[in-house]
Amino acid sequence: MSLLELENVSAAYGPVTVLHGVSVNVERGGATGILGANGAGKTTTLRAISGLVKASGRIVFDGKSILGLRPDQVASLGIAHVPEGRGTLSRLTVRDNLLLGAYLRRDRRAITADLDYCLDLFPQLRTRIRSTGAALSGGEQQMLAIGRAFMSRPRLLLLDEASLGLAPSTSANVYSAVGRLRVESGLSMLVVEQNAALAFTLVDNATVLETGRNVLSGTRTELMGMDSIRKAYLGG
């Protein structure tokens, strides 16, 4: 049984349907990518899982339907969402942002150890531990958002366009840290990314969305071998 299963999921903003029967799975310990151009429905798919947009179809996490749950209920099941735009708090320090991620936890010692792990994963954050979110660069804010999600010790990470607005070398750093997190903590992930080459450094398999529909799905090797993917998403 997969950790997360979406089958035939549709969603609308008011009268406008933007997802038309999307299906995607995340295996336990696996990382799945959602690729596609601007406006394809990638973000909306993550929002449907998190309960931030009303959806229909089948959304099953760890064997139970989560369709119709509120965002806080979804989060409390262990699904952490790092949204596009990152959502870190600009007035809080790096340390307080990270600890905020752990606010539902009571295991003090493990929280301290996880905080230390986070700062090893993102050494730039260690040097800025007392800076406020507002003082960070875009890359550091992205690291902070991922670190904060990790601090809730989720079972599934939803990562939305972590490379957005970052220099290529910074994106590569962020993805390599997330890859380390995957290997070292066994965290399962659903990763939305426009930059397919970057996504393929992390995910095992992916689906490509176009106007709210799956147009292709496969393993990383299968997809990277397809001419259509190379042309449209890998730059030739």
Point out which span in 22-30, 36-44, 95-103, 115-123 binds ligand ATP (CB under 6 A).
36-44
- List 3, 6, 18, 158, residue binding ligand ATP (CB under 6 A): 18
Binding to ligand ATP (CB under 6 A) within 81-120 occurs at 84
Residue 39 or 168 with smaller CB distance to ligand ATP: 39
40 binds ligand ATP (CB under 6 A): yes
Residue 83 or 154 with smaller CB distance to ligand ATP: 83
Residue 97 or 214 with smaller CB distance to ligand ATP: 214
54 binds ligand ATP (CB under 6 A): no
For residue 83, the SS3 value is coil
Contact pattern for ligand ATP over residues 186 through 215, marking x by CB under 6 A: --------x---------------------
Q: How far is CA 52 from each of CA 17, 46, 49, 162, 226, rounded to the nearest angstrom?
A: 15, 9, 8, 19, 34
Helices (H), the chain: 42-50, 71-76, 94-101, 108-121, 123-127, 138-150, 168-185, 196-199, 220-224, 227-233
Residue 40 or 118 with smaller CB distance to ligand ATP: 40
Structural contact between residues 189 and 31, judged by C-beta atoms closer than 8 angstroms = yes
Phi-psi label, residue 85: left if phi above 0, alpha if psi -120 to 50, beta otherwise:
left
Residue 17 or 201 with smaller CB distance to ligand ATP: 17
38 binds ligand ATP (CB under 6 A): yes
Residue 79 or 208 with smaller CB distance to ligand ATP: 208
Task: Kindly state the tokens that stand for 56.
Answer: 């229909």
Nearest to 17 by CA among 69, 55, 73, 58: 55
- List 39, 168, 186, 225, residue binding ligand ATP (CB under 6 A): 39
Q: Give the whole-angstrom CA distance, residue 208 versus residue 215.
A: 6
Binding to ligand ATP (CB under 6 A) within 141-180 occurs at 161
232 by Cβ neighbours in 10 Å (0-12 / 13-18 / 19+) ranks as: middle
50 binds ligand ATP (CB under 6 A): no
- List 33, 36, 133, 154, residue binding ligand ATP (CB under 6 A): 36
Structural contact between residues 197 and 234, judged by C-beta atoms closer than 8 angstroms = yes
Structural contact between residues 22 and 58, judged by C-beta atoms closer than 8 angstroms = no
41 binds ligand ATP (CB under 6 A): yes
> In the beta sheet, which residues pair with residue 5?
25, 60
* Rounded least distance, CB 196 to ligand ATP, Å: 13
Binding site for ligand ATP (CB under 6 A): 13, 16, 18, 36, 38-44, 84, 161, 194
